[in-house]
């Protein structure tokens, strides 16, 4: 990490510590095990993140699984930068992954109205066509109506940040996948693939991140064709973990959801891949 990035991170850590309510820190911020939440906890996290100083990890089992893992660091990191509460209950974290579909948790620097996944995804895909015309005068709406938008379109940035944040939530759950039911893991992996799909579809070359130790926003960008290939492999692997169609709880992912996403990706392979395959298209059609 370069000095400029390090300086920014340090300022963010200090600012977040100053602004975060004490009640939030009281539940999850004592990482050095002294029984109180102080600036030394923030210093310990900062040293680990930026300097790989692991001296504090002996008392940092914040997710309660009996071991010190990257998941503990991820939980703390999310608290620092996003205010995400620590969740050590599998059912709660599983439900939170699904809640990302309509999450309106604040993202710094953006209005809530342009970071809602469903709303902004619909706007970018529909207002830029002749299917709909929005009469609101919010910034960016007229540009989408008239296809005169550019790289400064706030909705594009808002959705990009939302998709990255939603992938991070799924990765946090999957960091402890060995503790979870295989079908649950398959559902969240499919949900994560859905978010990667929208990144690939809307933005082209994007981060493809399956690690809980790296924020997706900061992950390495890869070619669209690589994301395409990764998604097909991931979804076909998930297919073996998911329950049969119409046998899951209403609204949750099953094999049919994975099949639909595989078909959608495959039918647009001429856009995503470097070369097309008739066999892939025929398989999707059947």
Distance (Å) of CA 195 to CA 113, 157, 216: 19, 15, 11
Would you say residue 27 has pLDDT above 60?
no
Would you say residue 17 has pLDDT above 50?
no
Distance separating alpha carbons of residues 256 and 260, to the nearest angstrom? 6
Structure tokens at 150: 């550019």
CB–CB of 71/169 below 8 Å?
Answer: no
What pLDDT score was predicted for residue 15? 40
Rounded average pLDDT over 107-118: 85
Q: pLDDT: is 60 or 128 the higher one?
A: 128
Structure tokens at 104: 């309106």
Would you say residue 189 has pLDDT above 80?
yes
Q: Predicted confidence band at 54 (pLDDT cuts at 50, 70, 90)?
A: low
Q: pLDDT: is 77 or 147 the higher one?
A: 147
Q: Predicted confidence band at 237 (pLDDT cuts at 50, 70, 90)?
A: very high
Q: Three-state SS across 35-98? A: CCCCHHHHHHHHHHHHHCCCCCHHHCCCCCCCCCCHHHHHHHHHHHHHCCCCCCCHHHHHHHHH
Q: pLDDT: is 86 or 202 the higher one?
A: 202
pTM for the predicted model, two decimal places? 0.70
Q: pLDDT: is 161 or 276 the higher one?
A: 161
Distance separating alpha carbons of residues 97 and 180, to the nearest angstrom? 14
Q: pLDDT: is 72 or 244 the higher one?
A: 244
Distance separating alpha carbons of residues 242 and 258, to the nearest angstrom? 9
pLDDT tens per residue across span 55-111: 555 455 555 555 555 555 555 555 555 544 455 578 888 999 999 998 877 787 788
What pLDDT score was predicted for residue 103? 81
* 3-state class (DSSP) for residue 215: coil
Distance (Å) of CA 38 to CA 14, 87, 210, 255: 12, 21, 32, 48
Distance separating alpha carbons of residues 224 and 203, to the nearest angstrom? 9
């Amino acid at each position: 990490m370069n000095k400029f990035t390090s300086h920014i991170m340090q300022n963010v850590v200090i600012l977040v510590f100053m602004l975060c309510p004490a009640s939030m820190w009281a539940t999850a911020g004592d990482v050095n095990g002294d029984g109180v939440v102080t600036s030394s906890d923030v210093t310990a996290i900062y040293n680990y993140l930026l300097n790989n100083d692991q001296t504090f990890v002996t008392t940092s089992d914040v997710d309660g699984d009996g071991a010190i893992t990257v998941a503990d660091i991820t939980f703390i990191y999310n608290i620092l930068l996003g205010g995400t509460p620590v969740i050590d209950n599998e059912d709660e974290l599983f439900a939170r992954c699904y809640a990302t579909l309509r999450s309106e948790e604040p993202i710094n620097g953006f209005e809530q109205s342009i970071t809602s996944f469903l709303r902004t995804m619909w706007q970018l895909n529909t207002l830029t066509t002749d299917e709909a015309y929005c009469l609101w005068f919010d910034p960016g709406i007229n540009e989408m109506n008239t296809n005169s938008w550019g790289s400064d379109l706030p909705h594009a940035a808002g959705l990009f940040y939302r998709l990255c944040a939603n992938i991070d939530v799924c990765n946090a759950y999957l960091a402890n996948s060995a503790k979870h039911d295989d079908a649950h893991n398959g559902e969240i992996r499919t949900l994560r693939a859905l978010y990667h799909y929208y990144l690939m579809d809307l933005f082209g070359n994007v981060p493809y991140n399956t690690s809980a130790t790296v924020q997706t926003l900061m992950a390495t960008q890869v070619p669209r064709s690589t994301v395409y290939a990764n998604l097909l492999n991931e979804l076909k692997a998930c297919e073996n973990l998911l329950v049969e169609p119409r046998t899951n709880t209403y609204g949750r992912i099953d094999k049919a959801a994975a099949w639909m996403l595989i078909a959608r990706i495959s039918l647009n392979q001429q856009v995503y891949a470097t070369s097309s395959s008739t066999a892939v298209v025929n398989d999707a059609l059947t």
